Amino acid sequence: MSASFHFLLLLLSCRGINTKDPDPTPPPLVPTTSLPSDVKSVVLKGESHVEKVELLKPVNLALECTWTGNQNKLPNITGYWRKDGDEIENSRLTVQLENGQYNLKREFRIVDEESLGNYSCVFDSEAEIHFILAVPQMGEERDKPIVSYVGDSVVIACKMEETKPQPRTWQWYKANGTDKEPINADAEPLRYEVKNEAGTAGKAGKTMLTVHKLTEADSGSYYCGAVYDIGISMSHVELRVITFLQPLKPFLAIVVEVLVLVAVILLYERSSSKKKSTAGDGMNADQANKLTQGENNGMEGSSTMRQRKV
Ligand SMILES: *[C@@H]1O[C@H](CO)[C@@H](O)[C@H](O)[C@H]1NC(C)=O
Ligand SMILES: *[C@@H]1O[C@H](CO)[C@@H](O)[C@H](O)[C@H]1NC(C)=O
Ligand SMILES: *[C@@H]1O[C@H](CO)[C@@H](O)[C@H](O)[C@H]1NC(C)=O
């Protein structure tokens, strides 16, 4: 009992010392010795090359660059490394020409999402090889939003192609303006439901997010994340929640247009038939009959005269 308490105290004090440490980087979760090692080598003849490296787990990765060089074949050149465009400190060194080629090699501890990225070896600012270290990427994103109605449910799905290493699990996010906020379906079972299907060899793993009782506030950017030990691969889906009236709008516009058109035609008809009725047209025979015979005759006479003139 007291022994474990002491142990706990010891642990706490260790933590205390750690936080006082000027170096803010947390202690590695996996000791270097137990990290598996891997090597990626590229031989470059031209000026640049891009090598994509898919990673799933933390690894001690040695990157090897070989440049067969320019025409000058200088006995030595300067070489250095860049990460995401920034020169890596203390990576500059003189590279000797050996067997007509220059070699540059460096080991990197790739343990988390931060350490993934774009690693470049640079030879004398003349040639460079970019190693793009990333988790497996999902296929092309759908560029059209998913459209659904207020009050309905919608299912958004994501999958990792069967040819690629399958993720450990999945996580959904919703963009809230500044961040991607993780969706916790268990905490909001009435709003969200998540179903995952594990991928196996030859079968794509997938995840389905159901959003229930949609409101217009559910519109926005959703992200599905395929979770690997080393990082999360993201894919983006846009959701638009609309009311039932919205798709009717163009239809309603046409209906209104038709109604206006019909009204205009009717008005025109009426006004022109009024003119004609005063002229004692056959259509308005009743009306014409009500008029006194004399008036009628006189008007008819003048109108036929007018009509004939036309
Ligand atoms: C690099 O080569 C130059 C000649 O181009 C030579 O003078 C210099 O000593 C060499 N430096 C090293 C470190 O080998
Ligand atoms: C990798 O970084 C270099 C700069 O060091 C940049 O020119 C290149 O476009 C980047 N490649 C990718 C795929 O991001
Ligand atoms: C967005 O989500 C992040 C992460 O959960 C949270 O810290 C932040 O406060 C949220 N911002 C808004 C505007 O809700």
Label each residue of 200-222 as H, E or C.
ECCECEEEEEEECCCCHHHCEEE
CATH number at residue 165: 2.60.40.10
- The total of other beta-carbon atoms located within 10 Å of residue 168's CB is 13
Phi/psi of residue 146, nearest 5 degrees: -85, 130
Which residue has the CA at smallest separation from atom 14 of ligand 3?
Answer: 176
Best mutation site among 172, 173, 176 for ligand 3 pocket (most ligand atoms within 8 Å of CB): 176
Position 101 scores a pLDDT of 92
181 and 91 in one domain? Answer: no
Best mutation site among 180, 181, 183 for ligand 3 pocket (most ligand atoms within 8 Å of CB): 181
Position 278 scores a pLDDT of 59
Please report whether residue 25 resides in a domain. Answer: no
Report d(CA 176, CA 34) in Å as an integer. 39
177 and 120 in one domain? Answer: no
- The alpha carbon dihedral of 218, 221, 225, 230 has a sign of negative
Reported for 89-97, long-range contacts at CB under 8 A and 24+ positions apart, including other chains, are: 95/123, 97/69, 97/73
Please report whether residue 296 resides in a domain. Answer: no
Please report whether residue 30 resides in a domain. Answer: no
Position 93 scores a pLDDT of 94
128 and 78 in one domain? Answer: yes
Distance from the alpha carbon of residue 63 to the mean position of ligand 1, in angstroms:
25
Give residues (CB < 6 A) around ligand 3. Answer: 176-179, 181
Distance from the alpha carbon of residue 23 to the mean position of ligand 3, in angstroms:
28
Q: Which atom of ligand 1 is nearest to the CA of 94?
A: 13
Position 273 scores a pLDDT of 77
Which of 45, 52, 245, 225 shows the shortest CA–CA distance to 130? 52
Q: Is 2 exposed, middle or buried (0-12, 13-18, 19+ CB in 10 A)?
A: exposed
Q: Which atom of ligand 3 is nearest to the CA of 176?
A: 1
Block mean pLDDT (10 aa), the chain, length 310: 42 38 49 82 94 95 92 89 96 93 95 95 93 92 88 94 91 94 93 90 87 95 95 94 80 88 89 67 47 46 44
Q: Among 206, 225, 244, identify where a domain stops.
A: 244
Kindly report whether the global pTM for this prediction surpasses the value 0.95.
no
Task: Give me the domain span that covers residue 97.
Answer: 37-134
Report d(CA 155, CA 82) in Å as an integer. 42
228 and 179 in one domain? Answer: yes
CA distances from 4 to 7, 11, 12, 17 (A): 5, 10, 12, 20
Report d(CA 262, CA 255) in Å as an integer. 10
Q: Which atom of ligand 2 is nearest to the CA of 120?
A: 5
Best mutation site among 74, 76, 78, 124 for ligand 1 pocket (most ligand atoms within 8 Å of CB): 76
Contact (CB, 8 A) for 206 and 159: yes
| Count of structural domains within the chain | 2
